A and B are shown apart, each in its own frame.
Chain A
């Protein structure tokens, strides 16, 4: 079996996003002019949305509000950019400025291509204000879906990560545990968790418990493998040092092996999180009658494409937020380490 090594994992771009490496001192920070340019593009997008008439066939309820929102965004960017001349903590807005320019342009181009000229055919490609409309008008259902997905994900992830961690430490530490767990892991682990889906949905009493099981499985495998390689790779002189200083095997496991393996464990937790997203969405599309995956499927069924894009947008926000959270936890726990993978 080819277990992913730490180096493989550490340099592989995380699922769904490219890691950005932020240099501590950003000498190439753009000047305030770029910030003002960003404000201008946002204002231009707002003007386009507000004053360019929509194609006659369709109309949207919240065009006006969305234009106002972009205009408010434009003035916020402008104010922050100008204030940053004097307030050092606001300088961060400068490094975001080029991106803000691009975002303003995207809004303008998107708007023109959809609502204003219908170059992109209509029901399939809604304009930005349609997404905004869904966010406002359907926020209750969306919030319910986020909570439902969150609950399911949290349950499965915590169970999978805990069991994976314990199994990984056991295999890495004890020859006997390795003898029994390793072949199972080797045989079942590479199977994608979604392959269990049909079985899980009739073995488990509820679709919720079935999905929890699948998410736990998807999380557990990478966590087990990486915890195990972390524990197995601990410098053996660390144990020699501990033993000469009077450490019991309990101490060697909890105070030496586990802390030394933590960088690997976090790589496993990170990979497990990516896997768990995939399984969550599939499970929600196929069996569970709630959550963002279900919302995606449901809105597609009603040809409510704006709702579908909105769900995708929220999903990206949530997944990226969770990964960021995981990396924050890691950074604070592993502050002793140099050269961490950045997010």
Chain B
């Protein structure tokens, strides 16, 4: 791709830079003409088509689309868990070639390791990177931040759904990610817990300053959380529309402006017949 030349030369991330940096470390994400295909019994199955997307440092962007459209695939590419068939993904001018603790995913299921306590689950990143000894205090801080200090010694099967998802969030935040990738993280929670956790997510994001990329199929959630909602089409996913939400935080759920935006988004998804 020609556009690649406009990016500065890749430089290895300074390992010391992230540690203890605190807030304001959001990353700039660029997807340049990304297409992806799965191999389904020898037949190529196109999932993503010509995705061009830029997320500014510290921005909160939601990807919205019908289920099975390929949103999660795009997240896996951003996380570096898979490589795109075509096109390129860049963070802060460095090409994504594999997973990195600066880009952490929170999955729809908490995916906590059931044989580890909450504390040891949260410690996973530092332990895997061999820096657990220096980060002990940070793990406690983050558990306090998500309200799980008293459950540090509990095993995942002893947690409620919301608590488990908070633990998963803690496990991500311990790494001080500059890009937090949220793959329908609240999708399996009951609606009351979900409302609480949405507000918590916003305040975490405001406090830590990371860039957030959220996949959801909940229009209301996307509009409540994100500054920009990117609407994707059916598979193969293409970007259908981008809706900017200028409302400042904290937002109110009953805001008529959000209702208006919701109508627009549903129209983009072809679902406004019931409005």
Query: What residues of chain A have their CB less than 8 Å away from a CB belonging to chain B?
Result: 235, 237-238, 240-248, 251, 255-256, 259-260, 262, 334, 336-338
Contacts and interface: CB of A to CB of B under 8 A. Distances in A.
A336 B104 contact: no
Which of B103, B113, B156 has the largest count of A CB atoms less than 10 A from its CB? B113
A336 B114 contact: yes
Contact of A244 (B99, B114, B155): B99
Interface in B74-133: 76, 79-81, 99-101, 103-105, 107, 109, 111, 113-116, 124-125, 127-129
Interface of B: 76, 79-81, 99-101, 103-105, 107, 109, 111, 113-116, 124-125, 127-129, 155-157, 171, 175
A336 B100 contact: no
Given A242-B124, A259-B115, A337-B115, 13 more contacts: A238-B111, A240-B107, A241-B113, A242-B128, A244-B81, A247-B124, A248-B128, A259-B113, A260-B115, A336-B114, A336-B157, A337-B157, A338-B157
Contact of A245 (B76, B101, B107, B114): B101
Given A240-B81, A241-B107, A246 B129 contact: yes
Given A245-B175, A260-B113, A262-B115, A336 B101 contact: no
Nearest to A237: B111
A235 B115 contact: no
A187 to B, nearest CB: 30
A244 B79 contact: yes
A170 B14 CA distance: 35
B128 A247 contact: yes
A235 B111 contact: yes
Contacts of A255: 127-128
B111 A241 contact: yes
A260 B111 CA distance: 12
Contacts of A262: 115
B210 to A, nearest CB: 14
A336 B155 contact: yes
A88 to B, nearest CB: 27
B101 A246 contact: yes
Given A243-B99, A336-B157, A256 B113 contact: yes
10 contacts: A245-B101, A245-B124, A245-B129, A246-B125, A246-B129, A259-B116, A262-B115, A336-B157, A337-B114, A337-B115
B115 A241 contact: no
Given A251-B128, A336-B157, A244 B101 contact: yes
A235 B81 CA distance: 15
Given A244-B104, A244-B105, A246-B125, A238 B113 contact: yes
A160 B227 CA distance: 60
Nearest to A333: B115
Nearest to B155: A336
A246 B123 CA distance: 12
Contacts of A336: 114-116, 155-157
Contacts of B129: 245-246
Contact of B109 (A237, A244, A260, A338): A237
Contacts of B116: 259, 336
A251 B111 CA distance: 17
Contacts of A248: 128
Nearest to A252: B128
Contacts of B76: 240
Contacts of B111: 235, 237-238, 240-241
Contacts of A246: 99-101, 125, 128-129, 175
Contacts of B171: 241, 245
